[in-house]
Structure 1
Amino acid sequence: MSTIALNAIQSSIPPILPASFSANQPKTIRLYPLSNYTFGTKETQPEEDPSVLARLQRLQEHYEQYGMRRTCEGILVCHEHNHPHILMLQIANAFFKLPGDYLHPHEEELAGFRNRLNERLAPVGTQFSGEGVNDEWEISDTLAQWWRPNFETFMYPFIPAHVTRPKECKKLYLIQLPRSKVLSVPKNMKLLAVPLFELYDNTARYGPQLSAIPHLLSRYNFEFVDEDGKVVAMTPGGAIPVDTQGEPLKPKILSGGENGIKTE
């Protein structure tokens, strides 16, 4: 390249170097491998409502007696092949939801949320023993609030301007999983580990709340720890994660339900 050409792309103003990736960055979350956790089943927990109409009717009855309903759900994150996976429940081979449920009217929020998590995922009796069986849930940041303005199925991540009395508030909390834990799911449900990229922009399958989880977690950096407790990878990542056979990661059934997953 000629001297004239070089001078044409140079400037007398010193370049402004970008801050390093670690400058003013969000906190780092440590993720443990899926293989660290033990999964089992427990007695069936039938759904309270046989239909969507019945669920909305029960919501209206709750509102008339107690006011706005409070619901808490947990975003439980682990990793498989150094890619974040979200633990979620699948009901009737079609309906996906996060662990958690609505709180009783007079329950304190975090205590009530821990009760709901135990009802869904805690082992019962002497099914398991050892490390991780009775560990307390570590409820971390509130990642989102969704509002139900009317007795309808639609929820929004904001309160519409014309609504002064929303009928339900759903909070999504980050649950920081310990190094190991025992989880048991009701027999009529499946516990899945869903890759983060599977959720992203996939409202057709998972709906607006679950498909927004990758956005919610983008505020964190991740450290991926192996079974020996060593950090083997960290954010920012690299190529699309694959399994040991080189195939792209897919949702994995961990416990409960029948074998296989319906994708239609």
Structure 2
Amino acid sequence: MAATTATTTRSSRPPIVPKDFSAQQPETIRLYPLSNYTFGTKETQPEEDPSVLARLKRLEEHYEIHGMRRTCEGVLVCHEHNHPHVLMLQIANAFFKLPGDYVHHDDGEIEGFKKRLNERLAPVGSQFSGEGVNEDWDIGDTLAQWWRPNFETFMYPFLPGHVTRPKECKKLYFIQLPKKKVLSVPKNMKLLAVPLFELYDNTARYGPQLSAIPHLLSRYNFEFVDENDNVVAVTPGTPLGENQIPRVKVLAGEDDGQDTGMTDVGTDGEKAPEMQQ
């Protein structure tokens, strides 16, 4: 059998350099590594309502007195293995939620939002000291607005045409995490770092609001830095080795620090959408 010889064919034509494709881009955002942040726990914060029906009843009472409820939640992003991760709360080992909550009717939007973020994630007492303990929140762009037309669980990323008096508006804000920050989560919750690919197209587990986050963040270009502020990758990123595949990571709460993988955090996906009501 005759041996075959591999040959390489080269074109005589020079390569075509593509034109720049970066017009009208927002400012590139720097993401710091997960290892830059310190995580702890604080006293339990029970849910205000024992059930979804009770929550909707309280919403109705709020509307009668103060009108539409304003809710703000934060999309806090860092990176692990040069892949963006979103910091997210998990309650009762089942429900996922972004940090934040409804804004008190007497508070301004940003002022009230920062108060809610501090209630959920700010350290208390003298447990921690040093850089990042009292770092203020850098509230960035509004990424999305979700509307609740009626006293029901359904929310929409648009206001239906026949609705003139929505009962709640929820805003998702991008929050630029500083180089260092200390975060403390209530003992009855977990703080997770969830990679974007885990959220993408995963409404069964995370519901429509959280699974849309990769779409919302696609407008940004990211640069990833290491613990020494060296830029190690930029969008679209670099290939990962087999031992660097990002997974959902528990940062604080039960099983603190254990890298559990995508299938081990939470229970069945049918319950997940309720967390976003």
TM-score, reference length from structure 1:
0.90
Q: Aligned partners of 1:217, 1:169: CA distance in 2, in Å?
A: 20
Amino acid paired to 1:246: N
| Percentage identity across paired residues of the two chains | 78
Q: Aligned pair 1:152/2:152, yes or no? A: yes
Q: CA deviation at 1:149?
A: 0.3
**Which residue of 218, 241, 246 corresponds with 2:243?**
246
Q: Aligned partners of 1:43, 1:218: CA distance in 2, in Å?
A: 36
Secondary structure of 2:136's match?
coil
Q: Aligned partners of 1:64, 1:19: CA distance in 2, in Å?
A: 57
Kindly tell me: are residues 135 and 247 of structure 1, through their superposed partners in 2, closer, same or farther at Cα, counting changes over 3 Å?
closer
Gaps of 5+ in 2: 1-15, 269-277
Q: CA deviation at 1:257?
A: 2.9
* 1:187-226, Cα deviation, whole Å (9 max, x unpaired): 0000000001100000000000000000000110000000
2:177 is matched with 177
Secondary structure of 1:151's match?
coil
1:3 is matched with none
* 1:32-53, Cα deviation, whole Å (9 max, x unpaired): 0000000000000000000000
2:200 is matched with 200
Secondary structure of 2:243's match?
coil
2:235 is matched with 235
Contact preservation (8 Å) 2:71, 2:103: yes
Q: Aligned partners of 1:44, 1:257: CA distance in 2, in Å?
A: 13
Gaps of 5+ in 1: 1-15
Q: Aligned partners of 2:42, 2:266: CA distance in 1, in Å?
A: 22
Q: Aligned pair 1:262/2:238, yes or no? A: no
* 1:133-170, Cα deviation, whole Å (9 max, x unpaired): 00110001011000000011110010001100000000
2:53 is matched with 53
Q: Aligned partners of 1:18, 1:135: CA distance in 2, in Å?
A: 42
Q: Aligned partners of 1:44, 1:93: CA distance in 2, in Å?
A: 15
Where do residues 1-264 of structure 1 align in structure 2 (5 Å cutoff)? 19-239=19-239, 241=240, 246=243, 248-258=245-255, 261-264=265-268
Q: CA deviation at 1:263?
A: 4.5
**RMSD after superposition:** 1.6
* 1:175-195, Cα deviation, whole Å (9 max, x unpaired): 000001000000000000000
Q: Aligned partners of 2:130, 2:21: CA distance in 1, in Å?
A: 40
Q: Structure 1 residue runs of 4+, over 4 Å off? A: none
Amino acid paired to 1:248: I
2:7 is matched with none
Amino acid paired to 2:225: V
User: How many aligned positions are there?
Assistant: 246
